[in-house]
Structure 1
């Protein structure tokens, strides 16, 4: 039966899609990561958001690991580096690492992929350059500085991911974990009993425990390699 009231919409009347590019793919994946976490950043979901097929993405990125590397670097582009020119090299370094931590903590998906991905791009190079500059000012030798960057970034990523994970869970679960230590039999676990309060101390606004971890790593970095 003919329907004279039927409206035919031409495909040409649709808004033109932005041409597919690596930059668009990375930006889209980053948005999905913010909204849905790492699960939302699959090649299939990114392709769907771009109204294309997964195979089209492989023209611009080799695999999911490479996409993650570009997405992490894209996220690092949002870092605002602190102005701590009048501070000691250790304070400069702490400020940089703390800024990196806050970025990962405020954008949970970045914290997750930072543990398994080496970013690709100038934003990661800029972060590395800032850290190396602070270590150089502290008189750290080349090899120790180069290896130290890896340790420092891994430490910050792991702390950020831990905090993100704890934030996701009900606070009662954290209380249960603490109670497990509090209730540990002091005869069977005398050393745990001795430090059970300290086990969960230092995670305050002052970031005392976070800073202590950086100081411990720096103590090792400052030792010369034979």
Structure 2
């Protein structure tokens, strides 16, 4: 029994533009703009064609289907991430800058969080980030499979901290929550849980965005400290 054939837009050469001013790069830029405005549910070949003043069918010259278009825009997002040279700044600083940049890029394109793990990351930008990240951990002293385990630990932390934040932002933004009313209810809920109430009281005076940024940095430093301790002495 044979499985489903694997395919990717990155496994073939891009087709040349069929008209002046039209290119795959132009289509990708327009798709990213549409996704930033309307999210994944708002993207369709018809809407994209209208945005480009072109018929939806003409877009299929460049991509076979919507999933291939999503592969292209997903890779475009990876191209926005900062990838420092560990030879210049050291492996920990390079990893830290990349981690913060990865978080900010995903937050800037919330729809991209829904594509993580769903699509193959085989584009040049994603492969560049993955290759350089591996080089950072190899420079640190990781070898063999431990290098991949370290990368998996880092990315799990980044995605685990960032994706719920996107989900919360989407929910609270859509519902336009009354902040004071929400805080009053939270205080009531925490009344029987003193440790939770203490933590909430400590954080409620701060800007939530600052709290999340500090929490991310605290966790990142802790992850890197833990990984560093696993290196051979």
Fold similarity call, TM over 0.5: yes
Unaligned runs of 5+ in 2: 1-17
| 1:14-163 to 2 correspondences below 5 Å | 17-18=19-20, 22-82=24-84, 85-114=87-116, 116-163=118-165
Find the counterpart in structure 2 of residue 211 from structure 1: 217
Find the counterpart in structure 2 of residue 183 from structure 1: 188
Aligned residues: CA RMSD: 3.8
Moved over 6 A (4+): 198-202
Task: Give the deviation of 1:122 after TM superposition.
Answer: 1.0
Give the count of matched residue pairs.
208
Contact 1:81–1:96 (Cα < 8 Å) also in 2: yes
In 1: Cα distance, 2:110 partner to 2:127 partner? 22
Q: Which has the higher helix share?
A: 2
Contact 1:115–1:158 (Cα < 8 Å) also in 2: no
The alignment partner of 1:140 has SS state of coil
The alignment partner of 1:204 has SS state of helix
Task: Give the deviation of 1:52 after TM superposition.
Answer: 4.4
Question: TM-score, length-normalised on structure 1?
Answer: 0.67
In 2: Cα distance, 1:206 partner to 1:163 partner? 8
Question: TM-score, length-normalised on structure 2?
Answer: 0.66
Structure 1 or 2, whichever has the larger Rg, is 1
Cα deviations by residue, 1:37-95 (Å, 9 ceiling, x for unpaired):
32332233223334444444444334333322210211222334346655442222111
In 2: Cα distance, 1:115 partner to 1:99 partner? 19
